[in-house]
């Protein structure tokens, strides 16, 4: 019975009108190359961490753009800062610095 | 009044322009750097999107050559062009000089040098080949022995090799490699019915007539798998098979897969043989390095240098049919310009 | 007792300076940690102190390193430093000889010509007199050059010179005024007392013809004392703090104290030892148009002032070109690295570096490094070579990539680097190997300096030279003309310059470029730079590439996968790694036989018994 009724219905649909642009604005200032990402996935393909866990640099950049702050703060702990991601990026996105900045922002004053 | 028109390059654009100029009273001379005409069309087997026979098209383009109209000089590399008294002086590296009233640059393109993407292993692993080499194999009708005794079972097609890649020095899209990838994937499945083919792409640029339909055919009739993820690196196993790493972005997980053969779909870059010409004339280039026309929309075949015209892939990536049409447009513009000069 | 009120400014300044120095140095010694006092006591009367004194003489006084950069620049620094030192010491001897007593009022030698007006009759005193005049002339020539350098630094080999703060400019002005004022004070006194020598006497006589020297002399002695005292008060707050502190730093370093990971102790001493000479500015390859005021000299200035430096700290390739040329010998890259420490929490999820499956009974471990998968030619060549050598080897990161941890360390996260490298350390131990070979200089430095594993760690250029020389593999020489590019982490950071060149000498001919060995350029690929845009990086890659290609070599040889990738893009000639070149020129045996090593190199090195 608890499945039905008029209690608050959780929606699976992401409402892009409600995206919090604060994070992309902050990161965009520190590392403007984040705007160039086309989501090709080379970074995630070559990522050292991603061989062993579900860390995904492409998804992190996407999450920054769509304001999924909680996901980001949990995930960035898996980055080893090896730098392979920016070595392969065809658009010259400095993914390593993006993640480093997220780590430093969330480290100092967790969002 | 008979003028001399020099066409630099005897590829499809050069040949078609010469044919279009054939009916004019002017003397047309093609300077071809190799010892046969045809450009890259010589090396192709079937053309997208309808698998037309490249050889037949080449023959039709070359049909007026035996009549010495146009005249063709082979093994002739142009090292310099100078503006002189309203005409253009063309210098060949053999020392010969030709005084032209108009020059059409139809120098074509170079394919990206796959050695530059070391992480794909071209030149290091023998089972990594380029789209160009694959066409050779289609022409011959068989595959080399080192590829699983001529019967590779699993083949990967890697899109965007040398295109859309700042690390390779080319931000531009080469336009034609996606449809080439789909075409060659289908041809592989036709040649090797027991094979499975996987295409790794960032986007699929099916811009032309019948391209999207061919893509659907590839999926439906030939069972080709399309994975949206750019290949980051390729490694070799002990038996010579190749492990390809990419992210399957649509499912969001990095993946690896072992293949018998990997085909790199090479992008187009401006022909290096054009560099001495553009440098000597001070001809500007686009950001991607192709020759810059006077106006991209309404004067695409003209340049800022009077009497110098452009046709074909030397000015931007174009398909064969676009090159042919472009060559005719350039020919028309040349005739028009020469008439105008006469009247003044 | 010889006294005049004009000595008070000098005495005050001198006393002030001594108190500040005692406090500061005392604090730094305390920061050096437990057992420092004992260590210093033990080292005090040892050979180390003599070494330190020799270094102090050669670098602080003679400025040998600066001479190597430019002769005129070296002379200028030497004349001021050595000149002033000798002026003080010889002045002390002169005063003591004159009075016949060793100790006098401490200001007496400095104002000797004021207090002693009697003309010098003995030969010895005339000699001292002339010597002091000569030293003053020596110093004044330096001051003249220093003034000239402010207008035209390129005349002394420096394209860019430090832009000083106004505080430094005041201190500079005070310093420059000291010796001209001394000259005038002594000359004016010589004008009426006749106690000058070849420089001061003629000048004094000339002045005496125009001015009332007797009454003019005292104000100038006042001026001299005030400027001298003023300079000493300004010194601890200016760049000239380096004068006493560099001496202290040299002593500490020779006694075995090293810069640590926090801004205290030796590091604090280094910050005050920077003379802001600006020689580091020209070496920096970052585009000055984009990176104005980011070079090391400015970074140290900000650090010393206690300002917020995190962004500046990130903005450095850590290539070490500035460090190589620093006349004070400061560990500059370490300063940037330790300033990168994050303020908040920063931890790495251990799932990113899981344990590595390794079977025991391996002799040689080969590690390609994480960049190795993007430059497969290197790993492949090493495998071909290792197979041919018959060595019992294991290619540790052939299937999966592991990170040695150094990129984390370079980003300022030392502890995290330590944590995530556990898996590789365990794999090394369980493999039982006696030698670890890596083709990446970054990993090499990590393994050698930080891992503290009980086996030989070799860069692949060292290893390849060894197996070529012991004829485990045979190579055929060719005619290729090589230019060798020294990777920053291999050359400047690890001191390995010759082994790759010896290999290349066996394979072909090397053409030299001037910026090589310790002066080599950086390829731009550094993982040490955290915030550089790729476009800026490519500028550096391009300029280094063009530089290396200047003599049109057949091939640019290098020994680092990052360098290879960075240079290949813009290079006209091909760029190859040492391993690839060796593999190409290696004679492969037609029949298989197992070649065993004559001796276990680890035994020879004393690691394994």
CB contacts of C413 in chain A (<8 Å) are: 81
Identify the weakest region by mean pLDDT among A4-8, B277-281, C17-21: A4-8
Mean pLDDT of chain C: 90
Domain extent for B145: 114-268
C596 pLDDT tier (thresholds 50, 70, 90): very low
Predicted ipTM of the assembly: 0.89
Residue in chain C closest to A76 (alpha carbons) equals C348
- Interface check for B82 against chain C (CB to CB < 8 A): the answer is no
Residues 26-55 of A with CB under 8 A from C: 30-31, 33, 46, 48-49, 51-53, 55
Half-sphere exposure of C191 (CA within 13 A, CB side): 23
Structural domains of chain A in order of their starting residue, each with its CATH number? 19-108 (1.10.1060.10)
Collapsing DSSP states into helix, strand and coil, what is residue C441? Answer: helix
Instruction: Tell me which of C408, C439, C469 is where a domain ends.
Output: C469
Mutate to test the interface with C, among B112, B113, B115, B119 (most CBs of C within 10 A): B119
Instruction: Tell me which of B248, B268, B288 is where a domain ends.
Output: B268
- Residue C592 above 70 pLDDT? no
**Same structural domain for residues B120 and B227?**
yes
* Rounded Cα–Cα distance for residues C32 and C258 (Å): 9
Q: Which helix (H) or strand (E) holds C498?
A: helix C498-507
CB contacts of A90 in chain B (<8 Å) are: 160, 164-168, 230
The better pLDDT of the pair C435, C609 is held by C435
Contacts of C579 (CB under 8 A, 6+ apart): C378, C381, C382, C385, C439, C460, C464
Collapsing DSSP states into helix, strand and coil, what is residue C82? Answer: helix
**Same structural domain for residues B137 and B62?**
no
Cβ neighbours, 10 Å, residue C563: 29
Rama region for C159: left / alpha / beta (φ>0; ψ in -120 to 50; rest): alpha
Instruction: Please measure the distance between the N-terminal and C-terminal CA atoms of chain A and give it in whole angstroms.
Output: 37
Contacts of C291 (CB under 8 A, 6+ apart): C284, C315
Instruction: Tell me which of C469, C490, C514 is where a domain ends.
Output: C469
Are C351 and A53 an interchain contact pair (Cβ–Cβ within 8 Å)? yes
A108 pLDDT tier (thresholds 50, 70, 90): low
**Same structural domain for residues B63 and B78?**
yes
Instruction: Tell me which of B215, B233, B268 is where a domain ends.
Output: B268
Q: Among candidates C378, C354, C349, which has minimal Cα distance to C366?
A: C378
- Residue C346 above 80 pLDDT? no
Using the CB atoms, write b or e for B40-71: b if 16+ within 10 Å.
Answer: bbeebbbbbbeeeebeebbeebbeebeeeebe
- Structure confidence at residue A67 (pLDDT): 86
- Interface check for C374 against chain A (CB to CB < 8 A): the answer is yes
**Same structural domain for residues B128 and B86?**
no
- Residue C121 above 80 pLDDT? no
**Percentage of chain C with pLDDT > 90?**
67
What's the Cα-to-Cα distance from B188 to each of A4, B114, C31, rounded to whole Å?
54, 21, 72
Q: Is residue C219 part of a domain?
A: yes
Domain extent for C446: 350-469
Q: Is residue C61 part of a domain?
A: yes
Average pLDDT over residues A23-33: 92
- Structure confidence at residue C349 (pLDDT): 86
- Structure confidence at residue C413 (pLDDT): 87
Identify the weakest region by mean pLDDT among A6-15, B195-204, C313-322, C414-423: A6-15
CB contacts of B205 in chain A (<8 Å) are: none
**Same structural domain for residues B278 and B196?**
no
- Structure confidence at residue C482 (pLDDT): 96
- Structure confidence at residue C131 (pLDDT): 92
Q: Which of C5-10's residues contact partners 24+ apart within 8 Å by CB, and which partners?
A: C6/C111, C6/C218, C6/C221, C6/C222, C6/C225, C7/C107, C7/C111, C7/C225, C8/C225, C9/C222, C9/C225, C9/C226, C9/C228, C9/C229, C9/C230, C10/C107, C10/C110, C10/C111, C10/C225, C10/C226, C10/C228, C10/C229, C10/C232
Angle of helix B12-21 relative to helix B54-61, nearest 10 degrees?
Answer: 40
For chain B, what is the domain count?
A: 2
- CATH code, domain carrying C362: 3.40.50
Q: Is residue C345 part of a domain?
A: no
For tokens 């040689």, name the residue. Answer: C364
Are B247 and A88 an interchain contact pair (Cβ–Cβ within 8 Å)? no
Residue in chain B closest to C568 (alpha carbons) equals B116
**Percentage of chain C with pLDDT > 70?**
96
**Same structural domain for residues B124 and B246?**
yes
**Same structural domain for residues C39 and C169?**
yes
Mutate to test the interface with C, among B128, B162, B230, B235 (most CBs of C within 10 A): B235
**Same structural domain for residues B134 and B255?**
yes
**Same structural domain for residues B145 and B100?**
no
For chain C, what is the domain count?
A: 2
- Residue B314 above 50 pLDDT? yes
- Interface check for C345 against chain A (CB to CB < 8 A): the answer is yes
Mutate to test the interface with C, among B112, B113, B115, B124 (most CBs of C within 10 A): B124
The distance of C595 to chain B (nearest Cα, Å) reads 22
**Same structural domain for residues C354 and C237?**
no
| Residues C23 and C41 sit within 8 Å (Cβ to Cβ) | no
Q: Among candidates B58, B61, B63, which has minimal Cα distance to B45?
A: B58
Rama region for B150: left / alpha / beta (φ>0; ψ in -120 to 50; rest): left
- CATH code, domain carrying B233: 3.50.50.60
Q: Which helix (H) or strand (E) holds C236?
A: none
Q: Give the phi and the psi of residue C557 in degrees, each rounded to 5.
A: -100, 140
For tokens 């890659």, name the residue. Answer: C541
- Residue C104 above 90 pLDDT? no
- Interface check for A88 against chain C (CB to CB < 8 A): the answer is yes
- Residue C601 above 70 pLDDT? no
Half-sphere exposure of C261 (CA within 13 A, CB side): 10
Instruction: Tell me which of C243, C260, C278 is where a domain ends.
Output: C243
CA B267 remoteness from chain centre? 8
* Rounded Cα–Cα distance for residues C320 and C312 (Å): 16
| Residues C309 and C299 sit within 8 Å (Cβ to Cβ) | yes
Strands C474-475 and B97-100, sheet pairing: unpaired
B59-87 tens-digit pLDDT? 999 988 877 778 999 999 999 999 998 89
- Structure confidence at residue A4 (pLDDT): 61
Angle of helix A95-108 relative to helix A22-30, nearest 10 degrees?
Answer: 120
- Structure confidence at residue C549 (pLDDT): 95
Q: Is residue C258 part of a domain?
A: no
Average pLDDT over residues B96-105: 96
Are C351 and A108 an interchain contact pair (Cβ–Cβ within 8 Å)? no
Average pLDDT over residues C304-327: 93
C214-269 tens-digit pLDDT? 888 999 999 999 999 999 999 999 999 999 999 999 999 999 898 888 888 899 99
- Residue C56 above 90 pLDDT? yes
* Rounded Cα–Cα distance for residues C167 and C304 (Å): 14
- Structure confidence at residue A107 (pLDDT): 66
- Residue C608 above 70 pLDDT? no
Instruction: Tell me which of B250, B268, B286 is where a domain ends.
Output: B268
**Same structural domain for residues B30 and B79?**
yes
């Amino acid at each position: 019975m608890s499945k039905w009724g008029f209690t608050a219905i959780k929606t699976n649909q992401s409402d892009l009108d409600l995206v919090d642009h604060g994070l992309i604005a902050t990161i965009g200032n520190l590392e403007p190359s984040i705007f160039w990402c086309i989501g090709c996935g080379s970074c995630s393909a070559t990522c050292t961490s991603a061989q062993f866990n579900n860390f995904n640099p492409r998804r992190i950049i996407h999450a920054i753009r769509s304001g999924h702050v909680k996901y980001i703060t949990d995930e960035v702990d898996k980055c080893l800062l090896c730098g392979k991601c920016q070595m392969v990026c065809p658009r010259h996105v400095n993914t390593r610095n993006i993640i480093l900045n997220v780590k430093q922002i969330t480290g100092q004053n967790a969002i | 009044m008979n003028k001399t028109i020099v066409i630099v390059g005897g590829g499809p654009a050069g040949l078609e322009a010469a044919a279009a100029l054939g009916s004019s009273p002017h003397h047309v001379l093609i300077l071809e750097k190799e010892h046969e005409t045809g450009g890259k069309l010589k090396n192709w087997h079937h053309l997208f999107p309808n698998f037309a026979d490249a050889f037949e098209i080449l023959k039709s383009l070359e049909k007026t050559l035996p009549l010495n109209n146009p005249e063709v000089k082979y093994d002739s590399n142009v090292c310099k062009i100078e503006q002189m008294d309203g005409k253009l002086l063309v210098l060949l590296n053999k020392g010969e000089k030709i005084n032209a009233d108009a020059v059409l640059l139809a120098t074509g393109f170079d394919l990206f040098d796959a050695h530059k993407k070391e992480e794909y292993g071209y030149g290091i692993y023998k089972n990594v080949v380029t789209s160009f080499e694959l066409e050779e194999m289609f022409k011959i009708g068989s595959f080399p022995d080192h590829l699983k005794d001529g019967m590779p079972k699993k083949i990967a097609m890697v899109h965007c090799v040398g295109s859309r890649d700042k690390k390779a020095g080319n931000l531009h899209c080469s336009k034609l490699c996606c449809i080439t990838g789909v075409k060659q994937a289908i041809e592989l499945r036709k040649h090797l019915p027991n094979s499975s083919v996987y295409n790794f792409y960032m986007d699929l640029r099916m811009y032309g007539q019948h391209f999207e339909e061919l893509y659907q055919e590839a999926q439906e009739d030939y069972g080709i798998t399309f994975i949206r993820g750019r290949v980051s690196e390729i490694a070799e196993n002990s038996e010579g098979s190749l492990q390809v790493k990419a992210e399957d972005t649509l499912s969001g997980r990095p993946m690896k897969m072992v293949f018998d053969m990997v085909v790199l779909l090479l992008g187009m870059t401006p022909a290096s043989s054009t560099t001495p010409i553009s440098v000597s004339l001070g001809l500007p280039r686009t950001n991607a390095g192709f020759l810059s026309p006077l106006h991209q929309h309404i004067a695409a075949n003209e340049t800022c240098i009077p009497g110098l015209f452009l046709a074909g892939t030397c000015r931007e990536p174009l398909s064969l049919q676009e090159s042919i049409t472009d060559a005719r447009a350039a020919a028309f513009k040349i005739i028009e310009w020469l008439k105008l000069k006469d009247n003044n | 007792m010889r006294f005049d009120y004009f000595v008070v400014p000098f005495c005050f300044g001198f006393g002030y300076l001594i108190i500040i120095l005692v406090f500061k140095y005392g604090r730094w010694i305390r920061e050096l940690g437990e057992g420092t006092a004992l260590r210093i006591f033990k080292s005090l009367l040892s050979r180390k102190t003599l070494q330190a004194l020799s270094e102090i003489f050669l670098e602080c006084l003679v400025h040998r390193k600066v001479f190597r950069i430019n002769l005129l620049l070296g002379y200028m620094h030497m004349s001021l430093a050595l000149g002033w030192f000798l002026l003080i010491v010889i002045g002390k001897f002169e005063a003591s000889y004159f009075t016949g007593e060793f100790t006098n009022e401490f200001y007496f030698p400095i104002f000797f010509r004021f207090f002693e007006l009697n003309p010098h009759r003995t030969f010895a005193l005339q000699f001292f007199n002339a010597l002091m005049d000569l030293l003053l002339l020596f110093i004044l020539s330096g001051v003249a050059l220093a003034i000239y350098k402010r207008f035209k630094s390129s005349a002394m080999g420096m394209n860019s010179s430090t832009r000083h703060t106004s505080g430094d400019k005041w201190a500079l002005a005070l310093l420059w005024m000291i010796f001209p004022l001394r000259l005038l004070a002594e000359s004016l006194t010589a004008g009426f007392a006749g106690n000058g020598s070849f420089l001061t006497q003629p000048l004094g006589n000339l002045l005496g013809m125009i001015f009332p020297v007797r009454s003019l002399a005292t104000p100038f002695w006042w001026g001299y004392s005030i400027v001298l005292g003023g300079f000493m008060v300004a010194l601890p707050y200016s760049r000239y703090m380096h004068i006493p502190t560099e001496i202290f730093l040299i002593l500490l370093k020779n006694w075995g104290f090293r810069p640590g990971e926090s801004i205290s102790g030796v590091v604090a001493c280094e910050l005050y030892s920077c003379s802001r000479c600006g020689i580091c500015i020209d070496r920096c390859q970052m585009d000055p148009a984009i990176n104005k005021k980011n070079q090391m000299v400015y970074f140290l200035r900000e650090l010393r002032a206690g300002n917020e430096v995190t962004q500046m700290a990130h903005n450095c390739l850590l290539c070490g070109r500035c460090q190589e040329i620093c006349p004070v010998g400061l560990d500059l890259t370490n300063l940037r690295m330790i300033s990168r420490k994050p303020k908040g929490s920063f931890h790495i999820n251990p799932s990113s570096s899981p344990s590595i499956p390794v079977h025991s009974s391996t002799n040689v471990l080969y590690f390609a490094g994480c960049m190795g998968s993007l430059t497969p030619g290197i790993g492949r060549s090493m495998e071909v070579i290792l197979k041919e050598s018959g060595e019992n080897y294991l290619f540790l990161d052939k299937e999966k990539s592991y990170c040695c941890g150094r990129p984390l360390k370079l980003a300022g996260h030392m502890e995290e680097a330590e944590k995530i490298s556990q898996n590789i350390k365990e794999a090394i131990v369980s493999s039982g190997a006696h030698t670890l070979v890596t083709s990446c200089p970054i990993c090499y430095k990590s393994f050698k300096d930080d891992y503290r594993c009980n086996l030989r760690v070799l860069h692949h250029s060292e290893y390849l030279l060894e197996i070529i020389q012991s004829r485990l593999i045979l190579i055929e020489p060719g005619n290729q003309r090589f230019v060798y590019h020294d990777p920053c982490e291999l050359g400047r950071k690890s001191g390995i310059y010759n082994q790759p060149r010896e290999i290349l000498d066996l394979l072909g001919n090397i053409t030299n470029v001037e910026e090589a060995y310790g002066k080599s350029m950086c390829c731009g690929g550094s993982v040490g730079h955290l915030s550089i845009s790729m476009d800026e990086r490519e500028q550096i890659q391009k300029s280094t590439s063009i530089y290396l290609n200047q003599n049109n070599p057949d091939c640019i040889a290098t020994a680092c996968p990052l360098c290879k990738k960075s240079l290949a893009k813009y290079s006209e000639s091909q760029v190859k790694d040492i391993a690839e070149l060796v593999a190409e020129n290696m004679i492969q045996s037609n029949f298989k036989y197992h070649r065993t090593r004559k001796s276990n190199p680890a035994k020879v090195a004393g690691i394994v018994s």
